[in-house]
Amino acid sequence: MDNKRLILAVSLSMLVVFAWNFFFATPPQKHPAQQAATTEKARQAPSVSEAAPATPAPSSQDFVPTEGRTVKVDTPLYTAVFNSDGGILESFVLKNYKQTIKPDSPDVDLVGKDAIAKGPMGVILTRKGQELHTWLGGKWAFEGSDLNITEGKQVLVFTGQSGDYRLERRLTFDAKTYLIDEDLTVTNMSTTGFEASVSFTAAAQSMTAKDDRYNPTRISWLNDSGRDEETDRDDLKEEGVTSGNMLKWTGIQSNYFLFAIIPGAENSVMYSGVQDDIFRMAVEEPATLLPNVAKTMKASYYVGPCERDMLATMPNELQQAVHFGWFDVLAKPLLIALDYLYQYVHNYGIAIIILTILIKLVFWPLSQKSYESMERMKKLQPMITKLRDKYGDDKQKLQQETMALYKTYKVNPAGGCVPMLLQIPVFFGLYKALLGAIELRHAPFIEFVPFTKIVWLADLSAKDPYYVTPLIMGATMFLQQLMTPTAGDPTQKKIMLFMPVVFTFIFLNFPSGLVVYWLLNNLLSIGQQWLMIAKNKKKEAQNKAA
């Protein structure tokens, strides 16, 4: 087997992964028939006779509506503003996260004013497809005041009534987390029972630019079939997406932020889409409403950053909202190591450099074997070229003579690539980690161009504004190709020399933290190759002298 072809195959495989992420990164869709089956199953509700009675219904005369107003909830982590007409979330401002790196930048609002009409944190009561009650219908009452929560938990209660239906929403807030728990009590004050459904809703403006390939706003969810997501905004707008049965959570999210609904019932199903550039989501569960009986249902909302430590404390495996695809099992430990290093250097750019060096040291012996194998292959190239000239028309004979040559000189044609293949999962694991780690958002490395006030690498989650690092990275890849022993095939050589151009183009808009990692890894590889070449030249000189 030609060692150079193996190297070419590995390089092309890496290019395919990058290019796919750049142009086509959209997870596979579930088959429509499968979706329909799971949705129908989710809609099946218990019969009226099977439902256990709850507390007796109140009288309709007990309800006194109040004028709608805003209600503010202030915690150490966020400021949330609700409207007492339905308990609709009007804004959710994160105190520890800015929209940009500018000093006067406002804090991040995960809802946005345009999303208010779509009912963030609203509820919908339906019967056989007919909407009975929403945050927009009926009258609402609220007694209480704004909340200022410095520790512990506090509650807001919104009560609504329309015709024969009473809704009471109890929202519980915790000073230490971004989780909001809801207890929704629906009372059927009529004389007949029926099967209905209750939906908990979420809505948010896009969390990222529409054309952001590396950090798209998306709908994600986890059910009994595993984790899935939809990133194609056009599909969400035209067709929407539906989760299967046994929903654990669903969310509107980017790489860095998440607005999730965690249902309290196992037989919940999610419906979502994009309307007027607003991401909408509803989690529906069946409800049996007996006459003159109150029924309580539960749900929770997580509205906040994708902080892995906090998500790990949330219910229903919400930590899986942060997922790095195939390389998740490697990416998360590497991020833990990155955070550990940051505790000592207090600069994520430096932490990336140290981590890259440590990874290179771990794989140094494997890389050394790879370079040694390539050097041995290089020495055989003149003989292989002669065999090609002699047996060019007889492929079988050429293969036999080539393998005999490898055996005579004890050269493994795959020896240069096997060590490289073992390193690739780790490289891509770190690549995925740096692409989506919230730690790098607005984290500076070299904040200003040296000796100037020109802002440069002030945000490791953003691209290099002057493309300095990706261009240097491309130059180092080109230098690596020149240093790598080449095969006799001129076509392969041209392809290998063209690849740095393609990689440079792809890396131009990558987060600068990722480019710093790749650039440093190239420099370390060049250094190792140079040491290997110098060692071989010294050895050859000694042999000649002897």
Give the lowest-confidence range in 46-50, 169-173, 211-215, 447-451: 46-50
| Whether 250 contacts 272, CB under 8 Å | yes
Length of the chain measured in residues: 546
Starting at the edge strand that comes first in sequence, how are the strands of the sheet with 107-109 ordered? 107-109, 88-98, 78-83, 70-74, 147-148
Pair 378, 304 in one domain: no
Per-residue pLDDT tens for 200-230? 999 999 999 988 888 999 999 999 999 999 9
**Residue 405 resides in a domain:** yes
Pair 301, 350 in one domain: no
123, with CB counted inside 10 A (0-12, 13-18, 19+), is buried
Pair 346, 232 in one domain: no
Q: What is the pLDDT of residue 130?
A: 74
pLDDT at 379 over 50: yes
Pair 382, 505 in one domain: yes
Q: Which of 264, 289, 323 is the last residue of a domain?
A: 323
**Residue 272 resides in a domain:** yes
Give the lowest-confidence range in 106-115, 454-463, 489-498, 520-529: 489-498
pLDDT at 539 over 80: no
Pair 319, 366 in one domain: no
Q: Pull the structure tokens for residue 435.
A: 């692409």
304-312: average pLDDT: 97
Query: Which CATH number do you get for residue 238?
Result: 2.70.98.90
**Residue 57 resides in a domain:** no
Pair 318, 344 in one domain: no
Pair 204, 351 in one domain: no
308-334: average pLDDT: 94
**Residue 270 resides in a domain:** yes
Q: What is the pLDDT of residue 40?
A: 35
Pair 307, 422 in one domain: no
Give the lowest-confidence range in 65-79, 176-190, 223-237, 496-510: 496-510
* One-letter identity of residue 364: W
Give the whole-angstrom CA distance, residue 307 versus residue 253.
12
Give the whole-angstrom CA distance, residue 237 versus residue 222.
21
Pair 276, 178 in one domain: yes
Give the whole-angstrom CA distance, residue 388 versus residue 374.
19
Q: What are phi and psi of 388, to 5 degrees?
A: -65, -40
**Residue 32 resides in a domain:** no
Pair 445, 315 in one domain: no
Pair 516, 417 in one domain: yes
Q: What is the pTM of this model?
A: 0.82
pLDDT at 14 over 60: no
**Residue 294 resides in a domain:** yes
Q: Pull the structure tokens for residue 173.
A: 């807030």
Q: What is the pLDDT of residue 464?
A: 96
Query: Pairing state of beta strands 70-74 and 147-148?
Result: parallel
Q: Which domain holds residue 508?
A: 3-19+335-540
Q: Which of 296, 323, 350 is the last residue of a domain?
A: 323
Q: Which of 271, 289, 323 is the last residue of a domain?
A: 323
Question: What rounded mean pLDDT belongs to the chain?
Answer: 84
Per-residue pLDDT tens for 364-375? 888 777 777 777
Number of domains in the chain: 2
**Residue 79 resides in a domain:** no
| Whether 485 contacts 377, CB under 8 Å | yes
**Residue 76 resides in a domain:** no
Pair 403, 466 in one domain: yes
Per-residue pLDDT tens for 95-132? 999 999 998 999 999 999 999 988 899 999 888 767 77
